[in-house]
């Protein structure tokens, strides 16, 4: 969903939908060019319901990989701040048609541990974002509909962009957010805003892009906010450095790298 992270979004090949249709828009979001690999330095500010802010600095590296002819992306997150979690690393290895593999390195324990059982709609490293928000959603897990064909989006600078309002309904009835209505820019297929609905069909989370910029020719969301209305929490993400196609390899995304690079 997010421009910087859509580089690692999985792509499910299916019969090409009709241009302009909801399925086609969803496919374009997934397929837009986000580079072969990417590296971001980010600051994450998490506000709790009392308005207290915790800051985390992290480095996020992504690689668009493939297994058995299908997308199998890699993601490595390294925490740089605060000091008591500095060096903590998190590695996600996607496997088409199977559960993702996730590994965690805790410096205090000194060894890599496998983490299992987390869902796509789970919190991304304890923030208000989900893995799905960061890594994009499985195209076939949702049914799509255009709820508004002309829903222009005005960026913080006041510029109006033509956009669709796209509804994604989860096929899994147990999904935490069974319905998401996203604002998708028509000329770049970047998702710039979204409302996430709970099972009572109430908006519980709202996402918005506050700064959108082209970096190395790729549209990148540099400032993003996810607000949880129910919990009254908010996470702001700022990308302080973004690089695409820096030459990352499969070997940069192993358990050994997760452990060694932290030292």
Partner 1 sequence: MIGVGDRLAPWIFRWRRWLTGLVVLGAVVAAPSADFTTLDNDMTAWFSKQDPVYVEYERFRQEFGGTRTLIVALEGDVIFTPDGLDLIRTVTREIERVDTVERVQSLTTANVVTALPETGADDAGGIEVNPLLPEKVDAGAAARVKARALGDRLMRGDLVSEDGRVTAIIVSFDESRIDEVRAGVIQKIHEVIDPRLPAGLKAYYNGSLEITESYNRVTLDNLYSLTPIIFGFMLLSIYVLFRSVTRTLLVFVAILTSVLWTMGLYTLLGFSYNVLSSILPALIVVLAVADDVHIVQHFDHEYRLSGDHERAFTSSVAHLFAPLLGASVTTALGMLSLATSDIAAVREFGMGAAIGVMVDFVLSLVYVPTLMGLVRVQRTAPPQERWLIGPLRAIAQFSIRRSGVVLATVAVVSAVALAGLTRLRVDTNHINFFADTHPLHQSAVLIDNQLAGIYTFQVMLEGPADSLKSPDTMARIERLERLLQTLPSVRKVVSHADYIKRVNRQLHGDRPDAEVIPPSAEAIAQELFLFGLADDGRAELERVVSSDFSRAQITVKMASHSSDLVFQEIASAGAMADQAFAGSDVDPSTTGSGKLFSTLDHYMVMSQLSSFGTAFLTVFGVIFLVFRSARFGVLAIVANTFPVLVILGFMGWLGITLNIATIMVASVTLGVVDDDTIHFINRYRREAAEGATTEDAIETATIHEGRASLTTAIINTLAYGILGFSSYKPTSWFGGLLALTMAVAFLAEVFIVPAVITRVRSVFATERVRAAA
Q: What residues line the site for partner 1 (CB under 8 A)?
A: 46, 48-50, 52, 54, 84-85, 88, 90, 103-104, 106-109, 111-119, 121-123, 125-126, 130, 174, 176, 199-200, 230-231, 255-256
Looking at the Cβ atoms of 209 and 237, the one nearer to partner 1 is 237
Looking at the Cβ atoms of 99 and 148, the one nearer to partner 1 is 99
Q: Which has the closest alpha carbon to 196: 174, 223, 221, 168?
A: 168
Looking at the Cβ atoms of 125 and 242, the one nearer to partner 1 is 125
Annotate 142-174 with b (16+ C-beta within 10 A) or e (fewer). bebebeeeebebeeeeeeebebbbbbbebeeee
CB 155 within 8 A of CB 161: yes
Angle of CA points 55, 56, 57, to nearest 5°: 125
The Cα–Cα gap between 94 and 90 comes to 13
Q: Are strands 70-71 and 66-67 parallel, antiparallel or unpaired?
A: antiparallel
- Compute the least distance from the CB of residue 226 to partner 1, in Å: 13
- Compute the least distance from the CB of residue 41 to partner 1, in Å: 19
- Compute the least distance from the CB of residue 170 to partner 1, in Å: 14
What spatial distance separates the first Cα and last Cα of the chain, rounded to whole Å? 32
Q: Which has the closest alpha carbon to 182: 237, 120, 226?
A: 226
Looking at the Cβ atoms of 4 and 103, the one nearer to partner 1 is 103
- Compute the least distance from the CB of residue 208 to partner 1, in Å: 21
Residue at token pair 């799905």: 132
The Cα–Cα gap between 96 and 235 comes to 30
Dihedral angle of Cα 113, 77, 10, 100, to the nearest 10 degrees: 10
- Compute the least distance from the CB of residue 182 to partner 1, in Å: 21
- Compute the least distance from the CB of residue 110 to partner 1, in Å: 9
Looking at the Cβ atoms of 19 and 173, the one nearer to partner 1 is 173
- Compute the least distance from the CB of residue 124 to partner 1, in Å: 9
Looking at the Cβ atoms of 168 and 228, the one nearer to partner 1 is 228
Looking at the Cβ atoms of 36 and 45, the one nearer to partner 1 is 45
């Amino acid at each position: 969903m997010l421009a910087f992270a859509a580089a690692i979004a999985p792509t499910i090949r299916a019969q090409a939908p009709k241009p302009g249709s909801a399925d086609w828009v969803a496919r374009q979001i997934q397929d837009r060019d986000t580079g072969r690999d990417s590296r971001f330095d980010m600051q994450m500010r998490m506000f709790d319901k009392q308005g207290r802010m915790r800051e985390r600095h992290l480095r996020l590296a992504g690689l668009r990989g493939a297994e058995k002819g299908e997308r199998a992306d890699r993601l490595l997150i390294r925490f740089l701040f605060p000091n008591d979690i500095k060096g903590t690393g998190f590695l996600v290895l996607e496997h088409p048609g199977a559960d993702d593999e996730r590994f965690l390195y805790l410096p205090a324990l000194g060894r890599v541990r496998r983490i299992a059982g987390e869902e796509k709609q789970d919190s991304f490293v304890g923030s208000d974002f989900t893995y799905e928000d960061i890594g994009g959603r499985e195209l076939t897990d949702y049914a799509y509909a255009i709820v508004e064909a002309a829903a222009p989006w005005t960026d913080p600078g006041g510029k109006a962009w033509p956009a669709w309002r796209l509804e994604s309904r989860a096929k899994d009835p147990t999904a935490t957010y069974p319905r998401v209505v996203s604002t998708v820019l028509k000329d770049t297929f970047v998702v710039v805003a979204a409302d996430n609905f709970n099972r009572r069909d109430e908006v519980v989370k709202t996402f918005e892009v506050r700064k959108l910029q082209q970096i190395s020719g790729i549209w990148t969301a540099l400032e993003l906010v996810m607000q949880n209305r129910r919990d009254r929490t908010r996470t702001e993400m700022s990308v302080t450095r973004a690089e695409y196609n820096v030459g990352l390899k499969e070997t940069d995304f192993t358990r050994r790298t997760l452990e060694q690079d932290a030292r």
